[in-house]
Amino acid sequence: EGDWSDLERDHQTGHLDRNGFLAAMARRLDASAEEVAVAHDGWIEGEMEGAESLLVDLKAAGHGIACLSNTCSCHWDVMQHWPIFRHIEYPHASPLLGAFKPDVTIYEAFAKAVQSAPADIMFFDDRRPNVEAAAALGWQVMHVPVGTPPIPRIRHMLVSLGLL
């Protein structure tokens, strides 16, 4: 265990390539780069159950669909092949924008890229600091902590707001 948030930030904003990240993490964890690569490659698990049907319903209700992810380039490359990405009109990630949630610059770059006013953006995230940063900019937000499946909670909120 330890603090590697600096490495995560540098890697996920494109300032540290995969090999540099793996080597630095291996040194911090007293592990081999190969061991770190196996753990890192297994980090993303795939789409959340029910996410694709939620996006289909949102699109049918006339909403634009966007993604803003803190991730690294190698994970982003994998994610874009998931079926859910067929429904995402505005896919954005930290290495593409060169910024990292909860830094204000990533939210500003995202809003500009999707050409939306802050109040028109509905943002869901599992990390409270990310949600708080978006809310401070006037975005509509929902904190969805890790735990029980998030899609039913998100769907319920959208229905209660009259968005579905």
Q: How far apart are CA 64 and CA 127, in angstroms?
A: 23
pTM of the predicted model as reported, rounded to 2 decimal places: 0.84
Classify the phi-psi angles of 3: left when phi > 0, otherwise alpha if psi is within -120 to 50, otherwise beta: beta
pLDDT in tens, 36-86: 889 888 888 888 889 999 999 999 999 999 999 999 898 999 999 999 999
Alpha-helical (H) ranges within 47-124 are 51-60, 73-79, 94-97, 104-114
Domain boundaries, the chain: 5-41, 51-160
- Euclidean distance between CA atoms 76 and 30, whole angstroms: 27
Residue 1: band (very low, low, confident or very high) from pLDDT cuts 50, 70, 90: very low
CA distance 13 to 98: 5
CATH number of 51-160: 3.40.50.1000
